[in-house]
Amino acid sequence: MSIFPFLSHFRRRYYVRRGIYITISWTIVSVVLFFYEYSVLESSGNVSTSFDFISNLTATFITGMAAGLLGGFFTINLMESWLRKYPFWQALLYIFLAYTTTAIIVTVFGVGYLYAVESNLPLYRIEVFSEVLQFFATFFFLRNYLIWLLIVIFTLILLMVNDKYGPGVFQDFLRGKYFHPKKEERIFMFIDVRSATTIAEEIGEEQYFNFLKDFFKDITPAIIYTRGEVYQYVGDEVVVTWKLKNGLYKINVLRCYFDMKRIINKRKKKYLKKYGVYPDFKVGAHYGQVMTGEVGILKREIAFSGDTLNTASRIQALCNEHDVDILLSKKLAESFPYLPYRFKQREIGPADLRGKMESIDLVTFELTDS
């Protein structure tokens, strides 16, 4: 049995966790809006004596919870996939239809509950359903419809921006953490597809682009699961970075590499069937101090600069020379808090890196069967 988490379930766990966050957030928004509206009505003296505060609050909570569950676990995921799959106008049309359908379902559920409680009737009675239909013609429904449409769009924008910058990076942008450059200790891993030029010539440019797209998509769960951040996609190369404590925690750097290998090996047959080749890859990793800060005007991003990146890149370039798939600087390997028994470390020894005066000690790793 593998010592690693079963990553085929990672996406499911990721979407479940995201769905829970959306459900909680939307429920809180519903309750906050309810209290705001109630305070406005109360201050103006427009609260009816027949107004049942507890029932209305319960109905609001149920509506928010139902909206969060439907939206967080189903509708938002569909909307995201449509935005990636279809032309923008077509995706917007689908999103509008999906949102409207969800709004109707949630309204029937929430308002139906409120009327059922007020009239002391079961939810399935025709009288309750008739009251719900009349509610759809009110200004109150239209207002809520538009408010929640904005909330859904805002949620989609947040999720898409977070996907663009990567988990954790968007929060740094919002806090302005890197508005002024600062020094950090970070780990960098360069991931490179072997024989990329040969593969591109064999399968053609369009198929090669899809080949890389599938490869990047398949290895992403391993990167996220080990708290890594995708810094750049450069041709057939991926640059991954960790804040030092995140990369050393549970030896996430090594776990990321072996998890990626396991994912690709598991899907090797699918690659061979679709493309006739599969993505064999090599990695090199190193850590050290870098300068981190926001750059760009029209297209802002967080950039890193320093010798650490150059060193990690050149370590990766030596994998072919030493006939290994992974090379780490000994400095990084010695920083690991522990090494699981199935990881076998092998010394490569000092190596000269292009453009550097001093050699650097390298190590490689493999999994043992015992």
Give the domain CATH number at 232. Answer: 3.30.70.1230
Best-predicted range by mean pLDDT among 57-61, 119-123, 156-160, 270-274?
270-274
pLDDT in tens, 9-29: 566 777 788 888 888 998 998
Q: What is the CA radius of gyration of the chain?
A: 27
Domain-embedded: residue 2? no
Rounded-to-integer distance, Cα 224 and Cα 260, Å? 11
Both 114 and 208 in a single domain?
A: no
Asked whether the predicted pLDDT for residue 311 surpasses 70, the reply is yes
Both 233 and 179 in a single domain?
A: yes
Supply the pLDDT for residue 269: 93
Rounded-to-integer distance, Cα 18 and Cα 142, Å? 28
Question: Which is more confident, 265 or 132?
Answer: 265
Please tell me the total count of domains within the chain: 2
Name the domain boundary from 124, 141, 165.
Answer: 165
pLDDT in tens, 99-114: 888 888 878 877 787 7
104-126 average pLDDT score: 77
Both 204 and 144 in a single domain?
A: no
Both 148 and 83 in a single domain?
A: yes
38-50 average pLDDT score: 77
The pLDDT confidence band at residue 209, using thresholds 50, 70 and 90, is: very high
Supply the pLDDT for residue 145: 87
Supply the pLDDT for residue 45: 76
Domain-embedded: residue 341? yes
Asked whether the predicted pLDDT for residue 177 surpasses 70, the reply is no
The pLDDT confidence band at residue 298, using thresholds 50, 70 and 90, is: low
Measured in whole angstroms, the distance separating CA 346 from the mean position of its chain's CA atoms is 34
The pLDDT confidence band at residue 170, using thresholds 50, 70 and 90, is: low
Asked whether the predicted pLDDT for residue 220 surpasses 90, the reply is no
Question: Which is more confident, 89 or 118?
Answer: 89
| Domain containing residue 126 | 7-165
Q: Are 327 and 348 in contact (CB under 8 A)?
A: yes
Asked whether the predicted pLDDT for residue 65 surpasses 90, the reply is no
Both 326 and 356 in a single domain?
A: yes
Both 143 and 268 in a single domain?
A: no
The mean predicted confidence, pLDDT, of the chain is 84
Both 207 and 302 in a single domain?
A: yes
Residue 43 is encoded by which pair of tokens?
């201050």
Rounded-to-integer distance, Cα 60 and Cα 31, Å? 6
The pLDDT confidence band at residue 2, using thresholds 50, 70 and 90, is: very low
Rounded-to-integer distance, Cα 337 and Cα 252, Å? 11
Residue 196 is inside which H or E element, if any?
helix 196-203
Both 247 and 125 in a single domain?
A: no
Bridge partners, residue 192, by sequence = 237, 282
Both 185 and 240 in a single domain?
A: yes
Asked whether the predicted pLDDT for residue 92 surpasses 90, the reply is no
CB atoms under 10 Å from CB of 266, counted, come to 12
Domain-embedded: residue 83? yes
pLDDT in tens, 335-357: 999 888 888 899 999 888 877 77
